[in-house]
Amino acid sequence: MGLIGKSVIKAGGVERVTGKGTFVADIKLPGMVYCAVIRSPVARGDIIAIDDSSCNRVKGYLGLFTAKSIPGNNVIPIVFRDQPCFAAKRVNYHGEPIGVVAAESKAIAHTALNRIKVTVKELEGLIDPLKAWGHRKIKLYGDDNIFRHSKIRRGDVESAFRECEVIIEDTYTTPYQEHAYIEPQGMVANPLPDGTMEIYGSMQCPFYVREAVAEVLALPLSDVRVIQTSTGGGFGGKEDVPSLVACQAALPACLLKRPVKLIYERDEDMISMSKRHPSWIHYKSGATADGILRAIQAEYIIDGGAYSTLSPVVLFRGTVHSMGPYRCENVHIDSYAVATNKVPCGAFRGFGSPQILFAVESQMDRLAQGLKMDPAEFRRRNLLKTGDTTSFGQKLSWSVGAKETLEKVVEHSGWRNHIPESAGDKRIGYGLSTVFYGVGLGAGGKHLARTGARVMVEPDASVTFSVGTTDMGQGMQTVLAQVVAQELGLPFENIRMMPTDTSRVPDSGPTVASRATTMSGNALIIACEKPRDSILTEASILLKIEKHNVVIDEGIAFDRKDGRLKVTIKEIIKNCFGKRMPLTGDGWYNTPETSWDNETGIGEPYVTYAWASNIVKLAVDTQTGEVEVLKISSAHDVGKAINPAMVECQIEGGVIQGLGFALTEEMMADSKGKLLNPEFSTYIIPTASDVPEIEPIIVEHPYPDGPYGARGFGEQPLMGIAPAVANAVADAVGVRITDLPITAEKIWRALRAK
Q: Which of 17, 130, 218, 541 binds another protein (CB under 8 A)?
A: 17
Site size with another protein, rule: CB under 8 A: 70
Nearer Cβ to another protein (323/627)? 627
Which ranges of 257-302 does DSSP label H, i.e. alpha helix? 266-272
> In which element (H, E) is residue 538 found?
helix 529-543
Buried b (16+ CB within 10 A) or exposed e, 365-402: bbbbbbbebbbbebbbebbbeeeeebbbbbebeebbbb
Helix (H), strand (E), coil (C) string for 478-526: HHHHHHHHHHHCCCHHHEEECCCECCCCCCCCCCCCCCHHHHHHHHHHH
Q: Which of 2, 6, 25, 571 binds another protein (CB under 8 A)?
A: 25
Q: How far is the CB of 660 from another protein (least distance, A)?
A: 9
Angle at 528 between CA 458 and CA 497, to 5 degrees: 60
- What's the distance, Cα to Cα, between the start and end of the chain in Å? 58
Q: Which of 259, 344, 521, 654 binds another protein (CB under 8 A)?
A: 654
Q: How far is the CB of 448 from another protein (least distance, A)?
A: 24
What Rg value do the Cα atoms of the chain yield, rounded?
Answer: 27
Site membership for another protein, residue 671 (CB under 8 A): no
Q: Which of 213, 656, 699, 712 binds another protein (CB under 8 A)?
A: 656
Nearer Cβ to another protein (13/592)? 13
Site membership for another protein, residue 289 (CB under 8 A): no
Q: Is the dihedral of CA 169, 170, 176, 177 positive or negative?
A: negative
Residues contacting residue 180 through CB under 8 Å, at least 6 positions apart: 270, 665, 680, 683, 685
Select the span of 179-187, 207-215, 488-496, 719-727 touching another protein (CB under 8 A): 179-187
Helices 353-370 and 311-320 cross at an angle (nearest 10°) of 20
Candidates 225, 232, 159; CA nearest to 190 is 225
Site membership for another protein, residue 239 (CB under 8 A): no
Q: Compute how many other C-beta atoms are within 10 angstroms of the C-beta atom of residue 205.
A: 28
Residues across the chain: 754
Nearer Cβ to another protein (362/520)? 520
Nearer Cβ to another protein (233/702)? 233
Site membership for another protein, residue 184 (CB under 8 A): yes
Q: Compute how many other C-beta atoms are within 10 angstroms of the C-beta atom of residue 259.
A: 22
By the 8 A CB rule, do 53 and 116 touch? Answer: no
Angle at 74 between CA 68 and CA 75, to 5 degrees: 165
Q: How far is the CB of 588 from another protein (least distance, A)?
A: 28
Q: How far is the CB of 609 from another protein (least distance, A)?
A: 24
Nearer Cβ to another protein (594/634)? 634
Residues 442-501 that bind another protein (CB under 8 A): 472-475
Site membership for another protein, residue 688 (CB under 8 A): yes
DSSP, collapsed to helix, strand or coil, labels residue 177 as strand
Q: Which of 41, 153, 691, 705 binds another protein (CB under 8 A)?
A: 691
Site membership for another protein, residue 1 (CB under 8 A): no
Nearer Cβ to another protein (11/217)? 11
Site membership for another protein, residue 679 (CB under 8 A): yes
Q: How far is the CB of 272 from another protein (least distance, A)?
A: 16
Identity (one letter) of the amino acid at 616? V
What is the rounded distance in angstroms from the CA atom of residue 240 to the CA atom of residue 415? Answer: 41
Q: How far is the CB of 686 from another protein (least distance, A)?
A: 7
Q: Which of 236, 686, 706, 720 binds another protein (CB under 8 A)?
A: 686
Residues 707-746 that bind another protein (CB under 8 A): 744-745
Read off the DSSP letter of residue 667: B
Q: Which of 92, 243, 517, 657 binds another protein (CB under 8 A)?
A: 657
Q: Which of 65, 86, 161, 181 binds another protein (CB under 8 A)?
A: 181
Nearer Cβ to another protein (112/166)? 112
Residues 75-114 that bind another protein (CB under 8 A): 107, 111
Q: Which of 289, 389, 668, 704 binds another protein (CB under 8 A)?
A: 668
Site membership for another protein, residue 179 (CB under 8 A): yes
Residues 588-647 that bind another protein (CB under 8 A): 623-624, 626, 645-646
Identity (one letter) of the amino acid at 644? P
Candidates 544, 525, 357; CA nearest to 435 is 357
Q: Which of 14, 130, 289, 541 binds another protein (CB under 8 A)?
A: 14
Site membership for another protein, residue 170 (CB under 8 A): no
Q: Which of 163, 170, 267, 268 binds another protein (CB under 8 A)?
A: 267
**How distant, in Å, are the alpha carbons of 43, 657, 666 from that of 98?**
13, 33, 27
Candidates 444, 284, 435; CA nearest to 353 is 435
Q: How far is the CB of 27 from another protein (least distance, A)?
A: 9
Q: How far is the CB of 21 from another protein (least distance, A)?
A: 5
Nearer Cβ to another protein (250/685)? 685
Identity (one letter) of the amino acid at 120? V
Residues 209-238 that bind another protein (CB under 8 A): 230-233, 235
Site membership for another protein, residue 203 (CB under 8 A): no
Site membership for another protein, residue 18 (CB under 8 A): yes
**How distant, in Å, are the alpha carbons of 145, 334, 368, 601 from that of 149?**
11, 7, 31, 11
Which ranges of 61-145 does DSSP label H, i.e. alpha helix? 106-115, 129-132
By the 8 A CB rule, do 176 and 354 touch? Answer: no
Burial class (CB in 10 A: 0-12, 13-18, 19+), 540: middle
Site membership for another protein, residue 9 (CB under 8 A): yes
Site membership for another protein, residue 26 (CB under 8 A): yes
Q: Tell me which residues touch another protein (CB under 8 A).
A: 7, 9-10, 12-21, 23, 25-26, 107, 111, 179-184, 230-233, 235, 263, 265-267, 472-475, 623-624, 626, 645-646, 649, 652-657, 664, 668, 676-677, 679-682, 684-691, 694, 744-745, 748-749
